[in-house]
Structure 1
Amino acid sequence: MAEKAESLDLIWEVTEIARLIGRTERQTFHMLQSGQLPAKKVGGRWVAERGTLIRFFMETAA
């Protein structure tokens, strides 16, 4: 279990998530708040797993 946790490539904060998905912070925040992105709020901060976000966008593009 510890190995899996260490292998996750987590993206913290709206700014970093926005940079990864190529959107503005405002667009990204709206997408996060409305549940359009596979991310969670942890301790007041948004967090997403890089691979999950990439797969999400690859599937919607196909």
Structure 2
Amino acid sequence: MEPRFLRLSEVAKELATSDSQIYHMVRSGELPAIKIGGRGQWRVERAKLEEYISDKYAETADWVATNPLVDNEPE
């Protein structure tokens, strides 16, 4: 059974990016997270991470649809 909450380092590993990038995403509000404990440790709920990933797929699909590849080769 997978844990409900992930540390930022675990999220970074899941998304193949850096811890600092995930921290920035959390602090900017791009990726929902909670702060827990006396030391204020960040946790991301796995369900929220999956929602984030799904949203990013949709955003990317929209971007691709509005920015098609242009054939730059001369005829």
- TM-score for both structures, normalised by structure 2: 0.61
The aligned residue for residue 14 of structure 1 is 8
- Rounded to whole Å, the distance in 1 between the matches of 2:35 and 2:15 is 18
> After TM superposition, what 4+ stretches of structure 1 lie above 6 angstroms from structure 2?
none
**Larger RCO (alpha carbons 8 Å, 6+ apart):** 1
Unaligned runs of 5+ in 1: 1-7
Q: Give distance in 2, aligned partners of 1:17 and 1:31.
A: 11
Please, which runs of 5 or more residues in structure 2 have no aligned partner? 59-75
Whether 1:55 and 2:55 are equivalent positions in the alignment is: no
Structure with more of its chain in helix, by fraction: 1
Of 29, 39, 46, the residue aligned with 1:35 is 29
Q: In terms of Rg, which structure is larger?
A: 2
Tell me the amino acid that sits aligned with residue 22 of structure 2: T
> 1:8-39 CA deviation, whole Å, 9 max, x = no partner?
7111x221121122221111111111111011
Q: Aligned partners of 2:21, 2:42: CA distance in 1, in Å?
A: 14
> May I ask how many residue pairs the two structures share in their alignment?
55
